[in-house]
Chains A and B, each alone.
Chain A
């Protein structure tokens, strides 16, 4: 049988993927089929399939160099020549489509001679340093020379050649050594077709042609975003990972999942012993199909960075140095403190925070620890501050707290609306897929206060940019719906069949009111009414319209209303329940979806089962053998308020840096200093840990088994490739704490935790590790009815039967520009850094973004006499900080922007504690500020610097970890 990878039948995910063969040209999708004969064997393939691919499907290997099945064929190397009956010459099989009754011969003397000649020409202009070449043993050129039986090079090496071409080592992660280039243009095509950046070109013609990063550029200064697609595509060692050059070829490979963003790319961790040599995106990865971004592919060095803390530590107060202690001592210290706090201040005086960076299994255990061992529901997760409105809004309208599609679904969309998201930076691999669809001609509408890169990507046409004012999302989305209703463009059949009638009628009369018309909302949103009308018509009139949104939707005082408004719009146009449509939240961190699914929120047990429902809660009580409180607990901001108030005294915080990531830093710091016991579990001494009494060293994603769930509900396996540096994986630490508190937990492996999850969570009932290994990944719901998961949600019905249109009145935020604070600050992120930056700042990604900037429109800058690079004091009613100015037309006048990747910037000193009405998700995206030139850092920055210095000094001098991490 032909060894084509089929996830449904593949057996062992962790070893099999290396055997996936390159079929040479991409799959063709059509129902029309043709039958041809290759070397006497008959095969039936979709019409349009290349002869090269058809042969590969028969296990007939035709030599090739310029072809690869993730790139359109190019036909430049001529190595894949074949003979076809009735045709003259020897056509390239990669560019020749299979035809009915074609007779192909792939090997005879004539063909062999031609191939040998081709190889000879290549090799005559190629250095013969194979033995010392970093690609030795992993080089397609070498393989092909062997395959065609090349034995001599008649031309000699003295003629004109490229052997002296200079090397480009500017990129921190890979080198470009042009002397080894065979100008197959795979890199150029990978950059265009896979990544969509178009940073590379072939300059010159014939012998003079060479790969170029553009005039006067090297890789680092060019448009290159360091995704590595070209490195992976290169058949020679011209483009090569520096880690392989330094450390040699890896010897084994383990499939695992990226721990950065919500795309959840699958990777092959290429290992030597316990050392990761490189990460290569898995070709059979169902979220990423062999692509990745600079973070996942290259920025993994933090995992063995010398800042890793690998020994448990305790101290009585935060003014004391840390004491390194044994695991037992640290766990008992923590347990004793928590117990005595509860004795003194009551059961509800402690709580915990689960992490969206940890695995599902770990998150599940932390909330279980809180509900069962702490005896209260004071559990929350960092998803509170990003996508909690998604959970609320989608559950209220569609009946399930999750996005509706797969990523691949975008390849069917006719029009895409992107709202408050920046996919090329924050969800790069999905961004590349989206760009691919847009280059094929799908329409694009962007609603964002800023101009984002997606809108001016090469060969992408932006139909409408709707530059709305921060804080006016709901007015905008209502106006969109108003136009559709007003112009009779709604999908009446879908509404009648799939939506609740009474709610729709009520909503219909609400939205029909003239106050929602684009003309009337123009003064609120700042969006030109005619532009908005056109955009609404475009979305309503295409067959398949898809909406993608990010934190620019959720992080507002009306975040939940906006999510419901988006769902309304999709329902109104019948854009739910099919391929190519849908409501798609782009989740920030790797396991935001998972941490929500796993019952991290104070009001919901795993699987969004409300604590007040006796039947649902009873199921957990019985299984856990403990009574569970039937009222919701405190959310993160409520915990802070209670801490300052003196009623909340102990916090267990796993893998989240609330001191840096949460808004209104002054308030957060006041809360943290009021705690009598703060337990931080992390891989680094993060900002929060500087306020902690117990430090429990965490493990990176490379050091444990588990699962992450990405933005498309896809449960992916995380596999251990090295032992935990501190001796315990995070789930083991939580277990130890629970046992010390007197609530026994006894799992031998995370798979047992997943089994328990499946038993208690209906949407996970069919999930287990064996099935995950077999299928590669599973999109929940995975039940008896959908045993291999559910790629597209709501196909026939909604979990609540019929969908509900929600009334979403626009209510202006309290945070308004005023004379004192005339500008609006909004926040976001960039490609190379991730979130609070704890990981990426400890890698060479720093080269792209070593500080946070304040982006400001030239008009606002001029008014204040601001030049590029000036230090700017930025103040709000919450606090002030100093950032460096970057003047850019990306911004609209009146709006400034910054990222929050660096703790010393103190971006969150400025943001306020305003929050979403339904979920308390902070309003990071709107803060009224004033900006002025200053000459020194802010008071907070000075104080913070002092404090950080002091806390770092409190670390033990010769930490054992410092040596241990140098594997």
Chain B
């Protein structure tokens, strides 16, 4: 796995750990998605999505759900 991908996974899990705890999972996913949308570059979101679609095992629960949501948003935007 590349350093870049390792870091992407780590960052996404870290975000989920820090803003997701103690919220119900819907709220947590919202917040994580929002954070990634506001602060991540396109290519990083892509890397996250690609990783999730190919494997995704190292992502924690909230990160996985957030990634699914990101895919949906991308699809919406593409329309």
Given contacts A612-B37, A917-B18, A918-B15, contact A348 B42 (CB under 8 A): yes
- Report whether B43 and A647 are in contact in the complex, using a CB–CB cutoff of 8 Å: yes
- Report whether B14 and A557 are in contact in the complex, using a CB–CB cutoff of 8 Å: yes
Taking CB atoms, residues of chain A closer than 8 Å to B3 are 641, 644-645, 667
Q: Which of A16-24, A35-43, A627-635, A683-691 contacts B (4 or more CB under 8 A)?
A: A627-635
Counting chain B residues whose Cβ lies within 8 A of the other chain, the interface size class is: 20 to 34
CB distance from A912 to the nearest CB of B (A): 11
Taking CB atoms, residues of chain B closer than 8 Å to A918 are 15, 18, 35, 39
CB distance from A285 to the nearest CB of B (A): 37
CB distance from B13 to the nearest CB of A (A): 9
- Report whether B39 and A631 are in contact in the complex, using a CB–CB cutoff of 8 Å: no
Residue in chain B with minimal CB distance to A629: B42
Taking CB atoms, residues of chain B closer than 8 Å to A634 are 41, 43-44
Interface code B18-37, partner A: CB below 8 Å = 1, 0 otherwise? Answer: 11011100000000000101
Q: How many A-B residue pairs have CB under 8 A?
A: 68
In the assembled complex, the Cα of A915 lies from the Cα of B12 at a distance in Å of 12
Taking CB atoms, residues of chain B closer than 8 Å to A667 are 3
- Report whether B39 and A637 are in contact in the complex, using a CB–CB cutoff of 8 Å: no
Choose from B7, B15, B21 the contact partner of A641 (Cβ within 8 Å).
Answer: B7
B58 beta carbon closer than 8 Å to chain A: no
Chain B binding surface SS class: helix
Given contacts A645-B4, A917-B11, A918-B15, contact A633 B41 (CB under 8 A): yes
Taking CB atoms, residues of chain B closer than 8 Å to A644 are 2-4
A610 beta carbon closer than 8 Å to chain B: yes
In the assembled complex, the Cα of A915 lies from the Cα of B3 at a distance in Å of 14
A642 beta carbon closer than 8 Å to chain B: yes
- Report whether B42 and A645 are in contact in the complex, using a CB–CB cutoff of 8 Å: no
CB distance from A596 to the nearest CB of B (A): 14
In the assembled complex, the Cα of A644 lies from the Cα of B3 at a distance in Å of 8
Given contacts A510-B22, A811-B17, A917-B14, contact A603 B39 (CB under 8 A): yes
Residue in chain B with minimal CB distance to A348: B43
Taking CB atoms, residues of chain B closer than 8 Å to A218 are none
- Report whether B43 and A642 are in contact in the complex, using a CB–CB cutoff of 8 Å: yes
B78 beta carbon closer than 8 Å to chain A: no
Taking CB atoms, residues of chain A closer than 8 Å to B39 are 603, 632, 918-919
- Report whether A378 and B41 are in contact in the complex, using a CB–CB cutoff of 8 Å: yes
A597 beta carbon closer than 8 Å to chain B: no
Taking CB atoms, residues of chain B closer than 8 Å to A632 are 38-41
- Report whether A561 and B40 are in contact in the complex, using a CB–CB cutoff of 8 Å: no
Interface code A593-612, partner B: CB below 8 Å = 1, 0 otherwise? Answer: 00000000011000000101
- Report whether A811 and B18 are in contact in the complex, using a CB–CB cutoff of 8 Å: yes
- Report whether B14 and A637 are in contact in the complex, using a CB–CB cutoff of 8 Å: no
Residue in chain B with minimal CB distance to A643: B4
Taking CB atoms, residues of chain A closer than 8 Å to B19 are 807
In the assembled complex, the Cα of A298 lies from the Cα of B3 at a distance in Å of 44
In the assembled complex, the Cα of A632 lies from the Cα of B43 at a distance in Å of 10
Q: Which of A612-651 contact B (CB under 8 A)?
A: 612, 631-635, 637-638, 641-642, 644-645, 647
A920 beta carbon closer than 8 Å to chain B: yes
Choose from A510, A647, A811, A920 the contact partner of B11 (Cβ within 8 Å).
Answer: A920
In the assembled complex, the Cα of A377 lies from the Cα of B43 at a distance in Å of 12
Chain A binding surface SS class: loop
- Report whether B22 and A807 are in contact in the complex, using a CB–CB cutoff of 8 Å: yes
In the assembled complex, the Cα of A557 lies from the Cα of B4 at a distance in Å of 18
CB distance from B6 to the nearest CB of A (A): 9
Residue in chain B with minimal CB distance to A346: B43
In the assembled complex, the Cα of A807 lies from the Cα of B42 at a distance in Å of 28
Taking CB atoms, residues of chain B closer than 8 Å to A510 are 22
Residue in chain A with minimal CB distance to B31: A807
In the assembled complex, the Cα of A645 lies from the Cα of B46 at a distance in Å of 14
Taking CB atoms, residues of chain A closer than 8 Å to B37 are 612
A558 beta carbon closer than 8 Å to chain B: yes
A579 beta carbon closer than 8 Å to chain B: no
In the assembled complex, the Cα of A643 lies from the Cα of B18 at a distance in Å of 28
A656 beta carbon closer than 8 Å to chain B: no
Given contacts A807-B22, A918-B35, contact A641 B14 (CB under 8 A): no
Taking CB atoms, residues of chain A closer than 8 Å to B17 are 811, 917
In the assembled complex, the Cα of A612 lies from the Cα of B19 at a distance in Å of 22
In the assembled complex, the Cα of A603 lies from the Cα of B35 at a distance in Å of 11
A361 beta carbon closer than 8 Å to chain B: no
In the assembled complex, the Cα of A196 lies from the Cα of B41 at a distance in Å of 48
CB distance from A374 to the nearest CB of B (A): 14
Taking CB atoms, residues of chain B closer than 8 Å to A637 are 7
In the assembled complex, the Cα of A811 lies from the Cα of B16 at a distance in Å of 11
Taking CB atoms, residues of chain B closer than 8 Å to A645 are 2-4
In the assembled complex, the Cα of A633 lies from the Cα of B23 at a distance in Å of 29
A913 beta carbon closer than 8 Å to chain B: yes
A275 beta carbon closer than 8 Å to chain B: no
Residue in chain B with minimal CB distance to A610: B38
Interface code A378-390, partner B: CB below 8 Å = 1, 0 otherwise? Answer: 1000000000000
Taking CB atoms, residues of chain A closer than 8 Å to B15 are 917-918
Taking CB atoms, residues of chain A closer than 8 Å to B23 are 807
- Report whether B43 and A913 are in contact in the complex, using a CB–CB cutoff of 8 Å: no
A815 beta carbon closer than 8 Å to chain B: no
In the assembled complex, the Cα of A712 lies from the Cα of B21 at a distance in Å of 34
Residue in chain B with minimal CB distance to A671: B3
| Residue picked from B4, B11, B43, most chain A C-beta under 10 Å | B43
Taking CB atoms, residues of chain A closer than 8 Å to B7 are 637, 641, 913
A809 beta carbon closer than 8 Å to chain B: yes
- Report whether B4 and A809 are in contact in the complex, using a CB–CB cutoff of 8 Å: no
CB distance from A416 to the nearest CB of B (A): 29
In the assembled complex, the Cα of A293 lies from the Cα of B19 at a distance in Å of 41
Residue in chain B with minimal CB distance to A811: B17
Residue in chain B with minimal CB distance to A378: B41
Taking CB atoms, residues of chain A closer than 8 Å to B21 are 807, 809, 811
In the assembled complex, the Cα of A644 lies from the Cα of B11 at a distance in Å of 18
CB distance from B40 to the nearest CB of A (A): 6
Interface code A182-219, partner B: CB below 8 Å = 1, 0 otherwise? Answer: 00000000000000000000000000000000000000
Given contacts A348-B42, A644-B3, A918-B35, contact A809 B14 (CB under 8 A): no
In the assembled complex, the Cα of A403 lies from the Cα of B3 at a distance in Å of 35
- Report whether A631 and B18 are in contact in the complex, using a CB–CB cutoff of 8 Å: no
Taking CB atoms, residues of chain B closer than 8 Å to A917 are 11, 14-15, 17-18
CB distance from B14 to the nearest CB of A (A): 4
In the assembled complex, the Cα of A558 lies from the Cα of B15 at a distance in Å of 10
- Report whether B18 and A561 are in contact in the complex, using a CB–CB cutoff of 8 Å: yes
CB distance from B53 to the nearest CB of A (A): 18
CB distance from B12 to the nearest CB of A (A): 10
In the assembled complex, the Cα of A561 lies from the Cα of B41 at a distance in Å of 22
Choose from B2, B18, B38, B43 the contact partner of A603 (Cβ within 8 Å).
Answer: B38
Taking CB atoms, residues of chain A closer than 8 Å to B22 are 510, 807, 809
In the assembled complex, the Cα of A561 lies from the Cα of B14 at a distance in Å of 12
In the assembled complex, the Cα of A204 lies from the Cα of B39 at a distance in Å of 65
CB distance from B28 to the nearest CB of A (A): 11
CB distance from A349 to the nearest CB of B (A): 10
- Report whether A631 and B14 are in contact in the complex, using a CB–CB cutoff of 8 Å: no
In the assembled complex, the Cα of A632 lies from the Cα of B11 at a distance in Å of 16
In the assembled complex, the Cα of A632 lies from the Cα of B34 at a distance in Å of 13
Interface code A553-585, partner B: CB below 8 Å = 1, 0 otherwise? Answer: 000011011000000000000000000000000
Taking CB atoms, residues of chain A closer than 8 Å to B2 are 641, 644-645
CB distance from A363 to the nearest CB of B (A): 20
Residue in chain A with minimal CB distance to B42: A631
Interface code B32-66, partner A: CB below 8 Å = 1, 0 otherwise? Answer: 00010111111110000000000000000000000
Could you write out 8 A-B pairs with CB less than 8 Å apart? A348-B42, A557-B14, A631-B41, A632-B39, A644-B4, A807-B22, A917-B11, A918-B39
Closest 7 pairs (CB-CB, A-B)? A641-B4, A917-B14, A917-B18, A645-B4, A809-B21, A634-B41, A631-B42
Contacts beyond the supplied A377-B41, A632-B39, A645-B3: 20 A-B pairs with Cβ under 8 Å: A561-B18, A603-B39, A610-B38, A612-B37, A632-B41, A634-B41, A634-B43, A635-B41, A637-B7, A641-B2, A641-B4, A642-B4, A645-B4, A807-B19, A807-B23, A809-B22, A913-B7, A917-B11, A917-B15, A918-B15
